[in-house]
Amino acid sequence: MAEPLLTVENLQTQFFTEEGVVRAVDGISFTVEEGELVGLVGESGAGKSVATSSIMRLVEEPGEVVGGTVKYRDQVIIDFEEGPDGERRPSDEMLSNKQMRDEIRGNEIAIIFQDPMEALNPVFTVGSQLKEFIEINRDVSGKEAKQIAIDMLREVGIPEPEERYDSYPHQFSGGMRQRVLIAMALSCEPSLIIADEPTTALDVTVEGQILDLVDELQDKYGTSFVWVTHDMGVVAEICDRVNVMYLGEIIEQAEVDDLFHDTKHPYTQALLKSMPRPDETVEELNPIKGVMPEAINPPPGCRFHTRCPDAREVCRRTRPVYQDVSGPEGYPHRVSCVKYESVGYEDSEPLDTEATAAFGGDIIEAQGESNE
Amino acid sequence: MSSTTTKTEPREDRETILRVEGLTKHYSQGSGLFDSIWPKPKVKAVDNVSFEIERGETLGLVGESGCGKSTLARSVLNLVEPTDGAVYFNGRDIANLSGEELRQQREDMQMIFQDPQSSLDPRMKVGTIVEEPMRAHDLYEGEREERARELLEKVGLDPQHYNRYPHQFSGGQRQRVNLARALAVNPDFIVCDEPVSALDVSIQAQVLNTMQELQDEFGLTYLFIAHDLSVIRHISDRVAVMYLGQMVELAETEELYENPQHPYTQALLGSIPVPDPRSKGRRGLLEGDVPSPINPPSGCRFRTRCPKLIAPDEYDMTEREWADVRRFTRAVKRRTFEVQGEAQLRSEFFEQGVPSGKAGDTVETALDSLLSEEWDQAETLLQESFAEPSICAQEKPDYTVETEHGMDVHHAACHLHRDGIESTANAD
């Protein structure tokens, strides 16, 4: 197998706030192969968006990437080494901010954000923004850039692109704005597009159109995607491989079919069981009890144990390590749950957690009180 | 349904709590002096919608953004004054009530909003928030605090939370506070406008379950609005589908999902990503955007995007030819392609050749206009020849179709269900 396009290893991003250190992304590792669509899925607060902005080196104060390696082909986006005094410093191979701007962002890796209205400047026309982006990232004249911009708008299915070139963002519908952002991302022919919840704000029929478009474009250009979403339906539709995040960690990593049909982690299982289905009548939903704890003060041991229906005493003490539970073929199926380790899960006492308590959704309070 | 002529049969064991007849809400676009002299066209947010809700049931209302769901909900409660139509609540027309009478009527009807954050006053304690409707209606004097605590417990919060502020709660918990507030005056009917769409999946399920438990316990009737078809399927007894201010289909939940009869409903259901990689659904079945509600299409409002638009009677085309012509007509109207030459046009739209006869002549004329860059001319010709004469553009559809699942009446506002045409048109 060829080298992966993007390799993320043990990436850690922390936010240094007044209340303490928020470990928003806490040691995640995954790869993206050429032409592959990799999902990053989880509930709000799982650290999905922080993970993507870390890869793009777009994390802002008080946040900081504090560890790990990110490699794109043979370029090193993030890497640290230990200095002479034992302090952490970026390694020599790591790209400078200028190189990041000139060589990576836009040209090699593009990003599409969730809210197209916020990503477009309301006081400039759609065309001029697209043209500016192309002029900056590709070595072309203004006239050529305009032509590329119009072609891209047509490519993503904007009707009458010559006329719409001079429209302002507010004159476009939500779906059309998202198409503009896709056009922008594609216009510099990047090898990797990071899409951060790009269809979440859209209606289901429009979402369908966008997913179709992504399929088509992927076939045509062979672009790889990192697709961030909370919607397991979208994951099932488009992803090749999936990483499930919970509280800053990737807790399960598998090919899409394995994830849905050979689900290993209790969180993934619970997530799938808690969803109402569009294609069948579900008599009763089994919600995951409680809410996700805050990343500032994560539970000890396995981070999911406070809400886990299978939690046992050992889960509170033991920090699970990745276990490869895959069959002989295909990509590894990794899961981080002590059930699959030999640390005495079977003999451990079942734990009295939120999952068995009378009231759901109470963890924030419980923690607040214990801190007082 | 969208017409008052089709009446549900009276069912003795069920009691209608809410009957909506021809409800219409048009918003004017300006209110200044000039606007009163030269009025701008009105936004037809809701247009002639009729339906009934039985006591104790949940009617799901589903549709895409901008289809008028929320306006309908607000007009039902008379939070916005309807332009026309009547809303009978327990037999009393509330659409024409105002002032104190209306305020008193609201004791029986409450609403829950989408955003749990902005619908709670951040400076009021949760207890006070829950007690407020009781004060407004002069109810439960002297036992309000006790009742508020009781309600908090009912909705799955700790009664001790009485003295906390909204910001101390998570999104799901805030939506529970909203539920408790809506229940405070012991209403019969609650309109829920996207109550779970701001919540994470796992939290969504918790709140949905609580809502169902409360419904059973208090005998509540819900009008449940959502854009998420999975949520609607889970919670509703019957489902109404809206498109551009009108109702296109109304049936029992099982019937609507298993036997959808309106092409829009079919497209909606087909577009939902199914959380199972092995079920490769079709998606993106609709092209283009929803037309403007200021000047909606005549006849069936969905006809400009409908994949099953009926061919005008005057032409004799095969399904395949009509599909080509329909696609061509829409592509010209939406200007989705570039003219690069005659061969390119023909291969792009009429791979199997242009239809023969009258339809073919019209298509040839339109192709000639396109080749001389006369887009408007081609568009007008195609619209006048193919889109406008269709029955879909001529008449507003309203039909009752045969129910396959359950007993209830199934309404589908689509001309495919006029007699005889079904077999040919479904072959598409």
B356 touches chain A (CB under 8 A): no
B327 touches chain A (CB under 8 A): no
What percent of chain A stands above pLDDT 70? 94
Task: Tell me the nearest-neighbour CA distance from A361 into chain B, angstroms.
Answer: 7
Task: Tell me the nearest-neighbour CA distance from B113 into chain A, angstroms.
Answer: 18
CA-based nearest residue to A62, from A8, A7, A126, A15: A15
Query: What Rg do the C-alpha atoms of chain B give, in angstroms?
Result: 25
Q: Identify the residue with better confidence: A355 or A312.
A: A312
- Say what the pLDDT of residue B407 is: 84
**Interchain CB distance below 8 Å, B64 and A204:** yes
Cα A209 to Cα A205: distance, rounded to the nearest angstrom = 6
If pLDDT is split at 50, 70 and 90, which confidence band does A321 have?
A: confident
- Say what the pLDDT of residue A353 is: 65
- Say what the pLDDT of residue A368 is: 36
Examine the pLDDT at B280 and tell me if it is beyond 90. no
* CB < 8 Å to A201, chain B: none
Q: Distances in Å between the alpha carbon of A53 and those of A10, A39, A60, B394?
A: 15, 15, 9, 53
Sheet holding A192-196, edge to edge: A109-112, A192-196, A224-229, A37-41, A241-246, A249-255, A334-335, A323-324
Q: Determine the residue of chain A that is closest to B157 in CA distance.
A: A359
If pLDDT is split at 50, 70 and 90, which confidence band does A82 have?
A: confident
Examine the pLDDT at A84 and tell me if it is beyond 60. yes
**Interchain CB distance below 8 Å, B205 and A288:** yes
Query: Of B234, B285, B288, which has the smallest distance from its Cβ to A276's Cβ?
Result: B234
Query: Of B201, B206, B283, which has the smallest distance from its Cβ to A212's Cβ?
Result: B283
Mutate to test the interface with A, among B62, B170, B202, B236 (most CBs of A within 10 A): B202
Take residue A283 and report the two structure tokens written for it: 């008599």
- Say what the pLDDT of residue A354 is: 60
Examine the pLDDT at A69 and tell me if it is beyond 80. yes
The answer to whether A8 and A30 have CB atoms below 8 angstroms apart is yes
Examine the pLDDT at B6 and tell me if it is beyond 50. no
Q: Determine the residue of chain A that is closest to B228 in CA distance.
A: A204
Take residue A176 and report the two structure tokens written for it: 């059309």
Task: Tell me the nearest-neighbour CA distance from A290 into chain B, angstroms.
Answer: 8
- Structural domain boundaries in chain B: 16-30+42-236, 319-389
Examine the pLDDT at A240 and tell me if it is beyond 90. yes
- Say what the pLDDT of residue B339 is: 85
Examine the pLDDT at B7 and tell me if it is beyond 60. no
Q: Determine the residue of chain B that is closest to A46 in CA distance.
A: B200
Examine the pLDDT at A372 and tell me if it is beyond 90. no
Q: Determine the residue of chain B that is closest to A214 in CA distance.
A: B284
Cα B174 to Cα B157: distance, rounded to the nearest angstrom = 10
Summary mean pLDDT of chain A: 86
* CB < 8 Å to B64, chain A: 203-206
B272 touches chain A (CB under 8 A): yes
Examine the pLDDT at B64 and tell me if it is beyond 80. yes
Lowest mean pLDDT across A152-166, A215-229, A281-295, B77-91: A281-295
**Interchain CB distance below 8 Å, B204 and A274:** yes
Q: Identify the residue with better confidence: A279 or B371.
A: B371
**Interchain CB distance below 8 Å, A209 and B286:** yes
**Interchain CB distance below 8 Å, A281 and B254:** yes
Strand partners, A8: A30, A70
CB contact set of B408 (below 8 Å; sequence gap of 6+): B8, B238, B251, B252, B255
Mean pLDDT of A227-255: 93
- Say what the pLDDT of residue A355 is: 55
Task: Tell me the nearest-neighbour CA distance from A258 into chain B, angstroms.
Answer: 9
Q: Determine the residue of chain A that is closest to B213 in CA distance.
A: A284
From the candidate CATH numbers 3.20.20.220, 3.40.50.300, 3.40.800.10, 3.40.50.720, the one assigned to the domain spanning B16-30+42-236: 3.40.50.300
**Interchain CB distance below 8 Å, A288 and B158:** no
3-class DSSP assignment, residue A192: strand
Q: Is the peptide bond before B275 cis (omega within 30 degrees of 0)?
A: no
B7 touches chain A (CB under 8 A): no
* CB < 8 Å to A234, chain B: 273
B371 touches chain A (CB under 8 A): no
**Interchain CB distance below 8 Å, B274 and A279:** yes
Q: Identify the residue with better confidence: B71 or A173.
A: B71
CA-based nearest residue to B84, from B111, B53, B45, B110: B45
> pLDDT tens digits, residue range A184-213?
988 888 999 999 988 887 888 888 888 888
Within 185-224 of B, beta carbons closer than 8 Å to A belong to 200-206, 208-209
ipTM > 0.95 for the complex: no
Q: Which residues of A287-304 are buried (b: 16+ CB within 10 A; e: fewer)?
A: bbbbbbbbbeebbebbbb
Cα B336 to Cα B333: distance, rounded to the nearest angstrom = 8
Task: Tell me the nearest-neighbour CA distance from B392 into chain A, angstroms.
Answer: 22
Mean pLDDT of B164-170: 88
**Interchain CB distance below 8 Å, B201 and A275:** yes
Take residue B85 and report the two structure tokens written for it: 């139509």
Mean pLDDT of B326-349: 88
The answer to whether A151 and B338 have CB atoms below 8 angstroms apart is no
What DSSP string runs through B24-66? Answer: EEEE-S--SHHHHHSPPPPEEEEEEEEEEEETT-EEEEE--TT
Query: Of B206, B230, B274, which has the smallest distance from its Cβ to A287's Cβ?
Result: B206
If pLDDT is split at 50, 70 and 90, which confidence band does B3 have?
A: very low
3-class DSSP assignment, residue B110: strand
User: Beta-carbon neighbour count of residue B31 at 10 Å?
Assistant: 7
Mean pLDDT of A251-280: 90
Q: First-to-last CA distance in chain B?
A: 26
Lowest mean pLDDT across A291-305, B83-97, B178-192, B270-284: B270-284
Strand partners, B97: none
> pLDDT tens digits, residue range A92-125?
888 998 999 888 988 899 999 877 778 899 999 9
Summary mean pLDDT of chain B: 87
- Say what the pLDDT of residue B34 is: 75
Examine the pLDDT at B143 and tell me if it is beyond 60. yes
- Say what the pLDDT of residue A163 is: 87
**Any idea what the Cα angle at residue A82 is, between residues A81 and A88, rounded to 5°?**
85
Examine the pLDDT at A363 and tell me if it is beyond 60. no
Query: Of A44, A207, A211, which has the smallest distance from its Cβ to B200's Cβ?
Result: A44
Examine the pLDDT at B338 and tell me if it is beyond 70. yes
**Interchain CB distance below 8 Å, A287 and B65:** no
